Amino acid sequence: MMKHTLVAALVLASLSAPAFAAREAGDFIVRAGWAQVNPNESSQDVDTGDYAGNLGEFTVDESNQLGLNFTYMLTDAWAIEVLAASPFKHDVGLAPLGKIAEVTHLPPTVMAQYYFGSDKLRPYIGAGINYTYFWDEEFTNDLGGDLTDLDLSSSWGLAAQVGIDYEINNNWLVNASVWYIDIQTDVKFKLEGAPVKIKTDIDPWVYMVSVGYKF
């Protein structure tokens, strides 16, 4: 409920704030803070046939890490932002078995942004493209050694964003922002030596609260 309230507040602020340009072309902003990737996952059913039956869809838990983003103001209202972070690690599960694997990923995202607001309050919206790279995929419950060779394919997808800056002074600011990212991957593994591929949508909401510096 709190996350839905945050999204609604940011949208309302970006629609209702007065249009007044305070920043200048060439300004550069660095933000750092807490970031959470909260998957909205779905997948094909993992059907192992006679081995273990239909185990349902994959589940993917949330992950919290240091979030970073870098913004360059093209004009007083238009900007380009790059979202980065330290690597996110997720537990992957199947309902009948619980946790079965761990995966690590990075989701760098490039956004085109438009800023609204006054000299202190700068709501903004953005749209762009994401690339997600997975590595360190490993089974933690391998059903007695019969699950092997876990691999997740990299993903390209679209992304959307809403956020708000509050400028404390000419250089320092605080920020809250939300992204929705389209992440699709093929989960590949071997079951008793036979290859299996499960199409999986992760499609996370990414929440970030940060402190920024403008120069």
Q: How far apart are CA 176 and CA 195, in angstroms?
A: 43
Tokens (6 digits) for 163: 């956020």
Burial of 33 (0-12, 13-18, 19+ CB in 10 A): middle
- Chain segment 108-154, per-residue pLDDT in tens: 999 999 999 877 899 999 999 999 999 999 999 877 678 889 999 99
- Chain segment 16-42, per-residue pLDDT in tens: 444 434 678 999 999 999 999 999 999
Which is more confidently placed, 69 or 146? 69
Residue type present at position 57: E
CA atoms within 13 A on the CB side of 65: 20
- Chain segment 186-202, per-residue pLDDT in tens: 999 988 888 989 999 99
pLDDT of residue 98: 87
- Chain segment 171-190, per-residue pLDDT in tens: 999 999 999 999 999 999 98
The structural domains of the chain, ordered by start, are 2-214 (2.40.160.20)
Tokens (6 digits) for 206: 């990414």
Please determine, for residue 4, whether its predicted confidence score (pLDDT) is greater than 60: no
Q: Which residues of 100-136 are buried (b: 16+ CB within 10 A; e: fewer)?
A: bbbbbbebebebebebbbeeebbbbbbebebebebee
